[in-house]
């Protein structure tokens, strides 16, 4: 089945130690998103790729970076994780054909990040 | 800037009760509206979506939502809830430049 896969499902890192989360998709969607979701809060969009074009949200800290080497893969790099970065990180994809209406997003299961 | 607000943060219902979860959006342009559900321990899934046309939208699992432009609302409804509907429900909109905004979510607990 076509899907959005996130690895690992659980990640433990130390304060200040860089960490990379990965997302892959078999849907061949051209848009990929990264969200941060803290307990009992709405998913917060960090950034998204429209094809190779990177779109950063204005309030996303510089500590968060992303790479999309090809259509299928997207990575979230947290350069120096702080305690406040502990959260669930969600990857999502959608297909944008360039005109409205915008299609829905397909979400992966998320990676739960713990910072010690 | 677009925003989405959900009025109810936590709703508790008995099985067979009717459900209505509120969602209001603010955006000056054309919006595409969605309701997502997140069952315990599972990923976000699409319940239904509205783009244009018939303002009453049918989704999966017996859910529906009504888009009322004059009220900037897109409330989610289900005539008779089941224990398996226990989950968190998110309203979301996508506006220009693929800008996605989620509401804060409503936790629904259905008591058998």
A31, A41, A108 member nearest B98 (Cβ) = A31
Find residue A92's DSSP bridge partners.
Answer: A33, A107
Q: What pLDDT is stored for residue A98 in this prediction?
A: 72
pLDDT band of residue B8 (cuts 50, 70, 90) is confident
* CA within 13 Å, CB half, A50: 10
Please report the pLDDT score of residue A2 as a whole number: 62
Q: What percent of chain B has pLDDT over 90?
A: 73
In the numeric block, the tokens 């009992």 are attached to A40
Query: Does the pLDDT of residue A19 top 90, yes or no?
Result: yes
pLDDT, tens digit (0-9, with 9 covering 90-100), for A25-38: 999 999 999 999 99
Distance CA B34, CA B50 (A): 6
Judged against a pLDDT cut of 90, whether residue A112 lies above it is answered with yes
Chain A residues interacting with chain B (CB cutoff of 8 angstroms): 31, 33, 40-45, 48, 50, 55, 90, 92, 94, 96, 100-102, 104-110
Residue B97 has pLDDT above 70, yes or no: no
Inter-chain CB proximity B43 and A110 less than 8 Å: yes
Please determine, for residue B47, whether its predicted confidence score (pLDDT) is greater than 90: yes
Cβ <8 Å between A109 and B90: no
DSSP-assigned states of every residue in B78-97: ESS--GGG-EEEEEEEE-GG
The model's pLDDT over A70-108, given as tens digits with 9 standing for 90+, comes to: 999 999 999 999 999 999 999 999 988 777 667 788 999
Please write the tens of the pLDDT for every residue from A54-75. Answer: 999 989 999 999 999 999 999 9
Check whether B96 has a pLDDT greater than 70. Answer: no
**Residue A83 DSSP SS3:** helix
Q: Rounded distance, CA B13 to CA B27, Å?
A: 31
**Averaged over B41-65, what is the pLDDT?**
92
pLDDT of residue B30: 72
Which member of A33, A104, A107 has the closest CB to residue B49? A104
Position A40 scores a pLDDT of 79
Average pLDDT for residues B10-20, to the nearest whole number? 97
Q: What local confidence, expressed as pLDDT, does residue A101 receive?
A: 67
CB–CB contact B43 A107 (8 Å) = yes
pLDDT at B2 over 80: no
pLDDT of A108: 94
Inter-chain contact A42–B103, Cβ cutoff 8 Å? yes
Please state, in angstroms and as integers, the Cα–Cα distance from residue B45 to each residue in A33, B66, B68, B74, B103, following that order: 15, 19, 23, 18, 15
Residue B82 has pLDDT above 70, yes or no: yes
Q: How far is B79 from chain A (nearest CA, A)?
A: 25
Per-residue pLDDT band at B73 (split at 50, 70, 90)? very high
Residue A100 has a pLDDT of 66
Confidence grade of residue B31 (pLDDT, cut at 50, 70, 90): confident
User: Contact A42/B90, CB-based, under 8 Å?
Assistant: yes
């Amino acid at each position: 089945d076509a899907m959005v896969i996130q690895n690992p499902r659980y990640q433990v890192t130390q304060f200040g130690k860089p960490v990379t989360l990965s997302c892959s998709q078999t849907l061949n969607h051209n848009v990929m998103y990264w969200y941060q979701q803290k307990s009992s809060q709405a998913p917060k969009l960090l950034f998204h790729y429209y094809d190779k074009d990177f779109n950063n949200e204005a309030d996303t800290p510089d500590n968060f970076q992303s790479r999309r080497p090809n259509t299928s893969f997207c990575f979230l790099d947290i350069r120096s994780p702080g305690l406040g970065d502990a959260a669930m990180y969600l990857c999502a994809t959608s297909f944008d054909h360039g005109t409205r209406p915008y299609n829905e997003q397909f979400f992966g299961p998320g990676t739960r990040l713990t910072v010690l | 800037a677009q925003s989405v607000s959900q009025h109810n943060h936590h709703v508790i219902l008995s099985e067979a009760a009717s459900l209505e979860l509120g969602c209001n959006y603010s955006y000056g342009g054309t919006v595409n509206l969605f309701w997502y559900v997140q069952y315990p321990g599972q990923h976000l899934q699409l319940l239904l979506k509205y783009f244009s046309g018939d303002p009453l939208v049918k989704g999966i699992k017996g859910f529906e939502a009504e888009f009322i432009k004059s009220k900037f609302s897109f409330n989610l409804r289900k005539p008779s809830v089941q224990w398996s509907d226990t989950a968190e429900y998110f309203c979301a909109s996508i506006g220009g430049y693929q800008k996605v905004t989620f509401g804060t979510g409503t936790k629904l607990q259905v008591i058998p």
